[in-house]
Chain A
Amino acid sequence: MKASAITLGVIGAAFLIAPHVYGNRTLLFSMMAFIVLAQGLNLLYGFTGYLPFGYVGFFGTGAYTTSLMVLHSHLPVLLCVVAGGVGACIVALILGPLLRLSGAYFSIANLAASQILYNVVSNQDLSKITGGPYGLKIDQVYDPSASYFTMLVILLVATGLAAYFRFSRFGMALRAMNQDPTSAAMAGIDVVRNRLIVWLVSASVAGLAGGAYAWNLSVFYPDAVFTLQISVFAIVFALFGGVGTVLGPVIGAIVLYALYNAVGISAPQYFEFIYGFLIVVLVLFLPNGLMSLLARRGVRVI
């Protein structure tokens, strides 16, 4: 518990100081967004074993809900970001029946669901509401520093949730469910309810991140917030660090996103190749991520 508090403090301090040391605030912001996404995905995949391949659907839903709220209501922007989280949560509730599927079927159905969201939002026929393929513009509330701090708060919340899942009684129940749902149900754990809670929490985290992201960009196309690439990054970053841990996704996202910016921006196809290769190597040789290397040496990882 103490270790988790220290972790949160260190992450918070690091991203408060970082803009003063390193000038590229946009990069720091995107890095935080990807840590949040990796952590949010970790909440679901790491603790229940459900891999949401269409995770980006919630991110995009958040971005659109927040932007539409900014455009059509007079609420403060922060509340609109919260609405982004709520919007994603509602979509997750509607998609709740997907949790009846197991393993890869869940992942594929979730991917299809996110494609449906994307196709609806970017549809020409709905241009009047969603801007269709031309996206949305909320530059009247553009505020890079406020959105930066908002994303930092979301990051701390997501990491705090991971710590809660890892160390609380609820987390123990999740671990039991993950290992053997039948026995867990016998032991009096409400498997279906717990799974649904984690699913909604994980979706809300992505929705909040999407809202803050839209605020930071303030002008975006549907592709920018619905590209499958975002799901892929979240999955790879989380796996690389180690799912089911608190720190794994954070470290995975920081290391790989920095690498992506070193190699990827100038020649994205090389990076695509490298991380494709990385995924293959990870699955074959290090399925539990960087954190498992430490755990193997007897370090108590959080």
Chain B
Amino acid sequence: MSLLEYALIGGILYGIFFALVAVGLNLIFGVMRIINIAHGQFVLLGGYGAFLLTSRAHLNPLYGVPLAVLGAIVVGVPLFRAVVPRLQKSSNPEMLSFILFFGIAQMIDAVLIMVFGADQRSLPQDALGAGSITVFGQSFPDSWWVASAASLLVLAGLYLYFNRTRLGFATRAIMASRDEALATGIDVERVSMISFVIGLALAGTAGVFVPYLLGSISPDIGNELTTTSFAVIIIGSLGNPLGTGIGGLVFGIGTLVMQTFFPSWSNLVPYALLVLIVLVRPAGLLGKSVRVT
């Protein structure tokens, strides 16, 4: 029984955190209908930012969060200007953005290898608290609790942003219908750009905690983080941060249960969940799957 409890509680913590990893991807897709396949690489950039802070400046990795936000603005604004409006005018924005961001992912991977090498890097173990917290007889390191708490905070913040601020209303309007949002006088371009930057900032913020949850980071896990994020947002539902939370929980509990009972098969979880869900719900939890018959 205690193994199962371990898997369930661990899965909840892990899952809540992966909702944070995935939610930025969800936001960017919801608003711009473009697919940021470089999402995992942006998560990694956040992680490497925190790594630089701890190894060079000996700061607490939590300073990586403001650094990620700053980085998202510095990188996101020019990147948005350079590619997004052009993509949205093209014949097939979804497919082309997919390929284009894949190119960006490759470039980030290459830069990470050149700067940091291909080795695994980790952050100082005790920086987020050296102990562990025990619930129902199962103890998990402080860093897991901090990461989940940070994730809950951010998701709650997003919820307030969407439901209490003008900008959040405008963002939701664009998600519902881009054309009608344009017609009501919303500056779609500007709101899209802000959402793009927020999406990247969320990815970077998640990245700060990834070295704790996965043990380490290395340049080659970017694509895996991206597919995992896709699994999470496809399980949950699109454009809804609470849905992403549910997706994260399903993924987290599934992964930890497999890790506990069938460790060699646990890598399959995100992929199997992804394929299963898209096949069982062909109408698409992402809302756009068409079959002509």
- B-contacting residues of A (Cβ < 8 Å)? 49, 51, 97-105, 107-109, 111-113, 115-116, 119-120, 123-125, 181-182, 184-185, 191-192, 228, 232, 235, 239, 269-270, 272-273, 275-280, 282-284, 287
Q: Which residues of A contact B110 (CB under 8 A)?
A: 269-270, 272-273, 276
- What total of chain B residues lie within 8 Å of the partner, measured CB to CB? 49
Instruction: Give CA–CA (A99, B282) in the complex, Å.
Output: 10
- If the complex has contacts A119-B271, A269-B110, are A279 and B289 also in contact, measured as CB distance less than 8 A? no
Q: Which residues of A contact B130 (CB under 8 A)?
A: none
Please determine whether B102 and A112 come into contact, CB atoms closer than 8 angstroms: no
Please determine whether B100 and A279 come into contact, CB atoms closer than 8 angstroms: yes
Q: Which residues of A contact B105 (CB under 8 A)?
A: 276
Please determine whether A273 and B271 come into contact, CB atoms closer than 8 angstroms: no
Please determine whether B98 and A107 come into contact, CB atoms closer than 8 angstroms: yes
Please determine whether A280 and B83 come into contact, CB atoms closer than 8 angstroms: yes
| Identity of the chain B residue whose Cβ is nearest the Cβ of A284 in the assembled complex | B86
Q: Does B267 contact A (CB under 8 A)?
A: yes
- If the complex has contacts A123-B265, A284-B100, are A191 and B86 also in contact, measured as CB distance less than 8 A? no
Instruction: Give CA–CA (A100, B109) in the complex, Å.
Output: 32
Please determine whether B293 and A185 come into contact, CB atoms closer than 8 angstroms: yes
- If the complex has contacts A109-B274, A113-B275, are A283 and B94 also in contact, measured as CB distance less than 8 A? no
Q: Which residues of A contact B113 (CB under 8 A)?
A: 269, 272
Which applies to chain A's interface (DSSP): helix, strand, loop or mixed? helix
Please determine whether B223 and A283 come into contact, CB atoms closer than 8 angstroms: no
Q: Which residues of A contact B292 (CB under 8 A)?
A: 181-182, 184-185, 191-192
Please determine whether B106 and A279 come into contact, CB atoms closer than 8 angstroms: yes
- If the complex has contacts A102-B289, A105-B286, are A279 and B102 also in contact, measured as CB distance less than 8 A? yes
| Known A276-B104, A280-B107; further 10 A-B contacts with Cβ < 8 A | A98-B278, A101-B278, A109-B274, A123-B265, A182-B292, A272-B107, A273-B114, A276-B103, A283-B96, A284-B100
Q: Does B290 contact A (CB under 8 A)?
A: yes
Please determine whether A239 and B288 come into contact, CB atoms closer than 8 angstroms: no
Q: Does B200 contact A (CB under 8 A)?
A: no
A-B pairs with lowest CB-CB distance, top 7: A279-B103, A276-B106, A276-B107, A273-B110, A272-B110, A112-B271, A283-B100
| Nearest chain B CB to A242 CB, angstrom units | 14
Q: Which residues of B contact A107 (CB under 8 A)?
A: 95, 98
| Identity of the chain B residue whose Cβ is nearest the Cβ of A182 in the assembled complex | B292
List 24 contacting pairs A-B, 8 Å CB cutoff, sorted by A.
A49-B95, A100-B279, A101-B284, A102-B290, A107-B98, A112-B227, A112-B230, A112-B231, A112-B270, A112-B274, A115-B271, A120-B268, A123-B264, A181-B292, A191-B293, A272-B113, A273-B107, A275-B103, A276-B103, A276-B105, A282-B103, A283-B96, A284-B86, A287-B90
